[in-house]
């Protein structure tokens, strides 16, 4: 017989958080490295998490009247150049196709880093009248950005995402869409991924290339760094002018539509890992976990144990719970470690002694708590425990965020916060120079101008001029 | 007020079938052309058909234990070259990335034309023991092949598809998988797309680059040409040897696994169009139509009409039927033409006079038949009519295939068949030379060696030598 599989060890997260993250990515079998730097393989378990995220978001997009489309993956260089700010932002990180078959191409083609130019080119063919608006499109695809340093999920040269692109007759409607889609992302994060968010506006320096406004949701990771988790952009009519997209309104005058786009990527899986994970591996919120419950039979060759385990599996499935049974020949101890590594929210143990008492043991992945339950109450107890794990994870992450957001009124205070870890709430005059100085002197970037403003002081601590707004600053991924 | 939209005209399919096809693709708003030749935009309606196909296939794949993954889109040239037959087949039509950011790459990267090499490279990292087998993977993505002539759906330089890739411990299991997946494609075609298929083995000349066997399903289009609609390949252990993928079996000896792959692409939508379409546009089988029923109110401003139409819409939706109501200000005549162009399987008309009689009018898209139904029986009548349209479309396509498959025992007979249109059933000696001669002299390629063999004669009509098998020959897309 071949030997039992080894239980994999991972680095202690308090010793080396970056290595811990990489260990979880590979040992929980989420990703593998490919032969090209920065292009990662999403293995079945990693992709199943993405599929669940897709299902939630796609349902929300369609509920709100968006339609999926598929745009080409290649953009001619001349098309990318049509909107000036946009090309300046993206051209430096494009990958270029220069040969097709055996021939040098007359014009080089970039692999899409994002698809605003493609949507606008298409819309210039099909938008004519107010009847054609709004255009509410989305696509699921991968994009390429030729980054220098790369990490699984957090910074890939290729990554999977969805990109929504819409056109509206009025600015008001477009701005409403932009904010609504940010709220959709916040809903996903808070209510499915158990990741509390700070909603806000990006500063001009941090906004998307070509956008008038970029809105963001920012999350705090276990190591108190920030992760930008989803962004939504209002473009005004800049691209529409550049691409000559016009519509005849009801009184037949020609107008430029107002545009939005919004995107969320597999980066969010990196966020999930770094928000909830621990030294035993991944921890997944039940709402998004591909498998919510694993049943592990103890002394499984004793009479009736496997039958009981299978019966429980069927009952859980019938109740709409994503459950599996591991009846392989690996030891229970190996199985415990394996499914802890994979972050299954709940483990159910059932053995001969439990059966005698008509009970089972449920073990929560989030805190290791063991709960003894009656088999009669299997479905109810399991559902209640999954709800408890879901809200427990959210509360824990919320506490991490709340406890580690500090106001600062001087640069020294800001530096102190950075050295112990956390987000800085600080007033800002609105000048780019002060924003640059925060980066240089304190080592933080502006994460957002939160919608929920607080009054920390009257002046910008960097320059002493009157402050306009409170900004959240942090070291970010 | 802006003017009413025009009803678009399309070319007569008997006059110019190719132009008719292009007209349907654009006028039914399935696709748009992009700025790069051969890269097409799938518009919402075209993509919705693909989403329905995905849902059916993905469900079958998962039912059978396959897992979705995501592989990189770029393949290093050296990786593509590892399997000799494979690189010979695909290198001439690769698109090459040579620049990343502002730097020339040390090795050029091709955009995947298919992903066997990527899967094998990954498997060489993760397959070690018999416990790791079978590997049953699938991915949904787009691939690039730098074709010279391109057409929407039928031949794109980029197209969407799924590619399944599996590894098995034994040849028997791998061969079983190959044939099973062909049957999955046949199931999709026959039972959802109403496209009858011929199942068979490809000749050596026509098989996939690197495969031991390629199996295919071939469909007959309205113009009696053939469309290869899905293929499934058995690879033996050729790639596994080239990529050094080995596993320790139960008695600890090292073995090479046996490999399969299988793919079906958006090409099938081209097949749908050319199988069922007519001079009024697209015709979609109800099982795959994004909208199965459109309700069109007549004299809709008369009291109660819109209320009744809305009530009917809700009843249909509740019954699980994909229905919509067009209550826009366009004329009923415009609406009739619009939804005929889009191929909605059933139209329901409801007006004041129908309401008086507690009835509605249902019009079948496949043959234009009008049926008067009681509103009380709305759900039952609609379901029954949709079933009739589904089976009617299949029977019509089946008749087209059966009526236009002819046996031939001489080359002259074969040429006659080609001139009137149809598939040729002819014996074959198995020699490549005779296959080439069929192409040169008769203008047909071998479509497949059907699993259901017939005895047409004893000799190969090309060379006169003893025949081995019956082959189906045809002009193909």
Q: Is B149 exposed, middle or buried (0-12, 13-18, 19+ CB in 10 A)?
A: exposed
Mean pLDDT over residues A171-181, rounded? 98
Q: How far is B148 from chain A (nearest CA, A)?
A: 9
Mean pLDDT (whole number) for A307-330: 97
* Residues of chain B found within 8 Å of residue A71, distances taken between Cβ atoms: 34, 41
Q: What is the mean pLDDT of residues B178-197?
A: 98
Nearest residue of B to residue A26 by CA position? B126
Cα nearest neighbour of B90 on chain A: A101
Distance in angstroms (rounded) separating the CA atoms of residues B215 and B314: 45
Q: Is the pLDDT of residue A3 over 60?
A: no
pLDDT at A4 over 60: no
- Return d(Cα B105, Cα A40) in angstroms, integer: 18
A122 CB neighbours in chain B (<8 A) are 32, 34, 41
Mean pLDDT of chain B: 96
Question: Do B111 and A111 make contact, defined as CB atoms within 8 angstroms?
Answer: yes
Nearest-CB residue to A2 (from B32, B131, B142): B131
Span B158-178, pLDDT tens digits = 999 999 999 999 999 999 999
| Domains of chain A listed by start with CATH number | 17-276 (3.30.930.10), 293-388 (3.40.50.800), 405-474 (3.30.110.30)
| Chain A residues touching B100 at Cβ < 8 A | 95-96, 146, 157
Identify the pLDDT of residue A83. Answer: 86
The nearest alpha carbon in chain B to A46 belongs to B69
| Interchain contact, B51 vs A68, CB within 8 Å | yes
Residue A283 to residue A190: CA distance in whole angstroms: 16
- Mean pLDDT for A288-314 is 96
Chain A contact probe: residue of B6, B30, B31, B44 with most A CBs at under 10 A: B44
pLDDT number for residue B2: 41
CB B435 within 8 A of CB B205: yes
Q: How many C-beta atoms surround the C-beta of residue B428 within 10 A?
A: 24
For residue B142, give how far its alpha carbon lies from the nearest alpha carbon of chain A (Å). 9
How many beta-carbon contacts under 8 Å exist across A and B? 164
- pLDDT reading at B3 higher than 80: no
Percent of chain B with pLDDT over 90: 95
Q: Which of A46, A49, A73, A158 best tests the B interface by mutation, with the highest count of B CBs <10 A?
A: A73
CA distances in angstroms from B393 to A393, B272, B386, listed in the order given: 53, 11, 11
How far is Cα B438 from Cα B113, in angstroms, rounded to an integer? 29
Q: Over the stretch B127-146, which tens digit does the pLDDT of each residue have?
A: 999 999 999 999 999 999 99
The pLDDT of residue B1:
36
pTM across the whole model: 0.96
List the single best residue of A53, A58, A74 to mutate versus B (max B Cβ within 10 A). Answer: A74
- B67-97 pLDDT per residue, tens: 999 999 999 999 999 988 888 888 889 999 9
The answer to whether residue A76 scores a pLDDT higher than 60 is yes
Enumerate the residues of chain A whose CB falls inside 8 A of the CB of residue B93: 101
Kindly give, in sequence order, each residue whose CB lies less than 8 Å from that of residue A253, ignoring residues fewer than 6 positions away: none
What number is the average pLDDT over the span A438-456? 97
Report whether pLDDT(A2) > 50. no
Look at A92 and B99 and tell me if their CB atoms are within 8 Å. no
Model pLDDT, residue A261: 98
Q: Best interface-test mutation with A: which of B46, B50, B95 has the largest number of A CBs within 10 A? A: B95
CA-derived radius of gyration, chain B: 25
The mean of the pLDDT values for chain A is: 96
Mean pLDDT of A344-361: 97
Task: Tell me what pLDDT residue B89 has.
Answer: 86
Beta strands A359-364 and A323-325, pairing class: unpaired
Are B289 and B273 within 8 A, CB to CB? no
Helix axes B44-63, B267-276, angle to 10 degrees: 110
Confidence of residue A1 (pLDDT cuts 50, 70, 90): very low
pLDDT digits (tens, 9 = 90+) for A79-94: 999 988 888 888 889 9
Q: For residues A395-400, give the mean pLDDT.
A: 98
Q: Kindly list the residues from chain B whose CB atom is less than 8 angstroms away from the CB atom of residue A40.
A: 72
Closest CA of chain B from A97, distance in Å: 4
Which member of A39, A94, A131 has the closest CB to residue B2? A131
Determine the longest span between alpha carbons in chain B, in angstroms: 81
Q: Determine the residue of chain A that is closest to B123 in CA distance.
A: A32
pLDDT at A9: 85
Interchain CB distance below 8 Å, B41 and A71: yes
Cβ <8 Å between A41 and B102 = no
- Cα–Cα distances in angstroms (integers) from residue A222 to residues A86, A138, A418, in the given order: 34, 32, 14
Query: Tell me, what's the pLDDT at B6?
Result: 60
The whole-angstrom separation of Cα A235 and Cα A254 is 19
| Residue closest to A145 by CA, chosen among A218, A208, A86, A93 | A93
């Amino acid at each position: 017989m071949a030997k039992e599989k080894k239980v994999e060890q991972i680095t202690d997260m308090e010793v080396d958080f970056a290595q811990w993250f990489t260990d979880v990515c590979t040992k929980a079998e989420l990703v593998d490295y490919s032969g090209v730097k920065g292009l990662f393989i999403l293995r079945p378990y990693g992709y199943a998490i993405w599929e669940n995220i897709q299902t939630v978001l796609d349902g929300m997009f369609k509920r709100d009247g968006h339609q999926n489309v598929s745009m080409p993956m290649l953009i001619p260089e001349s098309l990318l150049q049509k909107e000036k700010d946009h090309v300046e932002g993206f051209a430096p990180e494009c990958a270029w196709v220069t040969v097709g078959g055996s021939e040098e191409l007359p014009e080089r083609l970039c692999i899409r880093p994002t698809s605003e130019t493609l949507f606008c080119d298409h819309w210039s063919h099909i938008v004519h009248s107010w009847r054609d608006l709004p255009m509410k499109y989305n696509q699921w695809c991968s994009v390429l950005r030729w980054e220098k340093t790369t990490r699984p999920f957090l910074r890939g040269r290729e990554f999977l995402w969805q990109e929504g692109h819409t056109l509206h007759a009025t600015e008001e409607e477009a701005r409403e869409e932009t904010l609504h889609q940010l709220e959709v992302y916040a809903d996903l994060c808070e209510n499915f991924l158990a990741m509390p968010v700070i909603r806000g506006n990006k500063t001009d320096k941090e906004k998307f290339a070509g956008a008038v406004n970029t809105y963001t949701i920012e999350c705090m990771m276990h190591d108190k760094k920030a992760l930008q988790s989803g962004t939504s952009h209002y473009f005004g009519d800049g691209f529409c002018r550049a691409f000559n997209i016009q519509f005849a309104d009801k009184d037949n005058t020609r107008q430029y539509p107002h545009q939005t786009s919004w995107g969320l990527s597999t980066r969010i899986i990196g966020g999930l890992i770094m928000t909830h994970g621990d030294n035993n591996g991944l921890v997944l919120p039940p709402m998004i976990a591909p498998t919510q419950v694993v049943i592990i039979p103890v002394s499984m060759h004793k009479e009736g144990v496997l039958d009981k385990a299978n019966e429980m599996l069927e009952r859980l499935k019938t109740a709409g719970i994503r459950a599996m049974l591991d009846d392989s020949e690996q030891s229970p101890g190996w199985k415990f470690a394996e499914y802890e590594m994979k972050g299954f929210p709940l483990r159910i143990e059932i053995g001969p002694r439990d059966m005698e008492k008509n009970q089972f043991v449920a073990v929560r992945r989030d805190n290791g708590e063991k709960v003894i339950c009656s088999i009669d109450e299997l479905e109810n107890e399991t559902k209640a425990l999954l709800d408890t794990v879901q809200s427990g994870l959210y509360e824990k992450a919320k506490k991490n965020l709340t406890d580690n957001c500090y106001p600062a009124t001087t640069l020294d205070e800001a530096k102190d916060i950075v050295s112990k870890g956390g987000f800085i709430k600080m007033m800002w005059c609105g000048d780019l120079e002060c924003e640059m100085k925060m980066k240089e002197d304190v080592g933080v970037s502006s994460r957002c101008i939160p919608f929920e403003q607080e009054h920390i002081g009257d002046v910008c601590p960097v320059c002493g001029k009157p402050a306009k707004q409170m900004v959240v600053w942090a070291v970010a991924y």
